[in-house]
Structure 1
Amino acid sequence: MLLRSAVVFLLLFPQPIRADDEAEQRLGRAIDRAKQEAATLIKNVLRDHVLDQQPCIFAKQWSSRAVYVTLAQQYLGLSFYADVSAPHTGTAPSDIIDPAGLTRGHFCSEAEANEMWSQRLANLRRRAPPADTEQSYQQPAISIRRVDISMPVFDAGYSTAIVVVSSMERSARVQIDKVKQSIPTGFGQSFVYRKDSGEWTLIHSTLDYTIN
């Protein structure tokens, strides 16, 4: 009797079960495609806009800054009226930028970046020459740059994408016998890339904000 009831249930309600499976499969394919395209696209973004890669330059997490709705409407063909972020793909920036794990020292948290900066400041202070000496006017300097990058937001055909990048830089130098830190500077940009003959090419960019 229980077996017969189970068979009847499957005969009466087959579509929702298959629909759920199909939806999961479509989602999985979409995530795989997004990761595949992102790997090539972000490589080109870094080539074009982040040339001075250094230890601790990249955040460990994707940027939470969203693509402005006006850009999404104009270049991605989206019709809703809200800023948009890429869907969750289960990846971190290091998975896309450094899949072989060769430069994992380029990725760190904000706390790790602050600790590294403190160590560099301490080393600079130790190296600062005494005042009123010839060496005191050579003014050695240090700097650290941090870059937050978003997972790309693609259009439906994976032919156009928008990547959001934020950059912040701190610097310090010896002034006479003291270490002077400069005011942090930074900016945020949105880059629109289009895929042409298999190559992601920059077609538009906006300066979203500056810090100085």
Structure 2
Amino acid sequence: MASGWSRLAAAALVLLYGSGLSLPASAEDVWERLDRETIALFKDIVATEADTFQACVVDSKWLKYDVMAETAKKYLNHHIHADLSPRHHPSSPAEIIGRSSGKSDLVCSDEDSLDRIGLVLKERQAAVAKAAATVPSMPREIRRSYSYPIFDAEFRTAVIVRDHGHSVGLHLRDDGKVRRRGMHGDITALIYRKIRGRWTLIATDGYATYS
């Protein structure tokens, strides 16, 4: 039998993911259902954008960014006039996005991304010093982070907030570490709907840009 805490947690998830959702007895069962749907969602996302999802593109932490009230009202049929903030989730992007993609190196930390860039810059530096015939091209770093999705009550529509950025002015320091001079990017709500068994992007809602 579910504990009192589990019942309270499950009730809280109803408020977050849709009051019409038929919930199992425990919060653990709710998370399992959410993870199952989220894995399927990201599997379709990665398959659709295979060229973008290269090694170390996805951040190892979930993005903490609210789904705006207007987005939730329009696409999720939420009637609460407030932004929705995805709660802390026990499963990591590596467990969800990495598993759904089948690519173990897809998800990495910001530090790991810079370390990978550093290896290429060192190879490039060595090739230039030796006047090698072939010099590795300048690496281009793309970084994406995603919020854990918020679903409607029927698990037919999902909203994810994505931070998509690329680095500017990558520089190899004397200590071997890589420094970015900046990042350019945007933060966008992505709205997906399950159509004939596949999650399909149906709309976007731009939230912010940065540089």
Task: Pick the TM interval, shorter chain.
Answer: 0.7 to 0.9
For 2:49 and 2:206, how far apart are their aligned partners in 1?
13
Question: Pairwise mapping of residues 54-65 of structure 1 onto structure 2 (< 5 A)?
Answer: 54-65=54-65
Q: Look up the match of 2:191.
A: 192
Say if 1:141 and 1:171, in contact at 8 Å, map to a contact too.
Answer: no
Deviation string, structure 1 residues 55-90 (Cα, Å, up to 9, x no partner):
221111111122112101111122223321333441
The amino acid of 2:128's aligned partner reads A
In structure 2, the partner of 1:20 is 4
1:30-65 C-alpha deviation (Å, 9 max, x unpaired) = 212111111111122233346322222111111112
Kindly indicate whether residue 95 of structure 2 is the aligned counterpart of residue 73 of structure 1. no
TM-score calculated relative to the size of structure 1: 0.72
Give the TM-score taking structure 2 as reference length.
Answer: 0.72
One-letter identity of the residue aligned with 2:114? N
| Overall identity of the aligned pairs, in % | 22
Amino acid at match of 2:84: V
1:58 and 1:148 in contact (8 A); partners too: yes
Which segment is superposed worse, 97-106 or 196-205? 97-106
For 2:15, the equivalent position in structure 1 comes to none
Q: Work out whether 1:162 is the aligned partner of 2:146.
A: no
Letter in 2 for 1:195: K
From the superposition, tell whether residues 150 and 78 of structure 1 become closer, same or farther in structure 2 (CA, over 3 Å): same
For 2:69 and 2:210, the matched residues in 1 are separated by 22
Distance between the aligned counterparts of 2:2 and 2:116, measured in 1?
Answer: 52
The DSSP-based 3-state class of the residue aligned with 1:125 is helix
Alignment equivalent of 2:148, drawn from 151, 172, 175:
151
CA distance, structure 1, for counterparts of residue 201 and residue 100 of structure 2: 26
Match for residue 13 of structure 1? none
Tell me the distance in 2 between the aligned counterparts of 1:96 and 1:163: 14
CA distance in 1 between partners of 2:109 and 2:136 (Å) = 30
**Higher CA-based Rg:** 1
**TM-superposed deviation, 1:172:** 6.1
**Farther-moved stretch of structure 1 (91-100 vs 159-168):** 91-100
Q: How many residues align?
A: 186
Provide the C-alpha distance between the structure 2 equivalents of 1:57 and 1:47, rounded to a whole number of angstroms: 15
* CA-CA distance at 1:124 after TM superposition: 2.1
The CA distance in 1 between the partners of 2:84 and 2:161, in whole Å, is 11
Aligned counterparts of 2:43 and 2:2: Cα–Cα separation in 1: 38
Q: Say whether the 8 Å CA contact 1:161–1:192 is kept in structure 2.
A: yes
1:41 aligns with: 41
Instruction: Give the letter for the 2:4 counterpart.
Output: D
Q: Which amino acid aligns with 1:122?
A: K
| Partner residue of 1:142 out of 139, 142, 145 | 139
